[in-house]
Amino acid sequence: MTSANAVQVARSYAPDQPIIFVPDRHLGSYTAEQLGRTFILWPGFCPTHARLTQTHIQTARAQHPGAPVLVHPECPKPVRDAADAVLSTGGMCRHVQGRGESTFIIGTETGILHRLQLENPAKTFYPLLEQAVCPNMKKITLEKILWSLREMHTVITVPDPIAGKARHAIEAMLAIN
């Protein structure tokens, strides 16, 4: 499940069926809010999104009056509540293309700013927090992906009974639109 499809995946479960939401408690609380449900939330979180605060939004609004604030659903609830829109990264990209505003404040990992600027050269994007850089995402490079695919150096073997159950769950999730 991703931030782009969390609500749809959770909606596919019967309303009386309990949901244990992992790994991100903020995405879980956002998803539960959207569905009017209560989930059992795993205490995990994205440290990059958890750094964003309402104070950052107040400061950004003062620096860029009128610019809408778009934040990721993995942000804490007070940040989501203070924003103009809560969207996945793909949702942010689609959202700004269909809007008349020329300036946006983006509350997620700063790497998305490059894509937004490439796809919308006439618009201006400001990070909600310059330091919202995910060190784990920056570990992934095209060179490392190529090396991994060529060498198959780190192979993870999952026992067949577990793999079958996991495959069924993943296929069911991917089938949800």
C-beta neighbour count of 32 within 10 angstroms: 19
Q: Is 123 exposed, middle or buried (0-12, 13-18, 19+ CB in 10 A)?
A: middle
pLDDT of residue 174: 83
Q: Quick one: what percent of the chain has pLDDT higher than 90?
A: 80
CB 31 within 8 A of CB 53: no
How far is Cα of residue 2 from the mean position of the Cα atoms in its chain?
Answer: 7
**pTM of this prediction?**
0.87
Per-residue DSSP letter, 111: T
3-state secondary structure of 20: strand
What gap in Å lies between CA 23 and CA 20, rounded to an integer? Answer: 9
Is the predicted pLDDT of residue 177 greater than 70, yes or no?
no
Delineate the domains of the chain, giving CATH numbers in brackets. Answer: 6-41 (no CATH), 47-134 (3.40.50.10800), 138-175 (no CATH)
CB 107 within 8 A of CB 75: yes
Q: Give the CA distances from residue 102 to residues 99, 105, 111, 116, in Å, rounded to whole numbers and listed in that order.
A: 8, 11, 19, 12
Task: Provide the pLDDT confidence category of residue 106 given band limits of 50, 70 and 90.
Answer: very high
**pLDDT tens, 132-146?**
999 988 899 999 999
Q: How confident is the prediction for the chain on average, in pLDDT?
A: 94
Nearest to 42 by CA among 23, 18, 26: 23
User: Read out DSSP for 133-176?
Assistant: --TTGGG--HHHHHHHHHH--S-----HHHHHHHHHHHHHHHH-
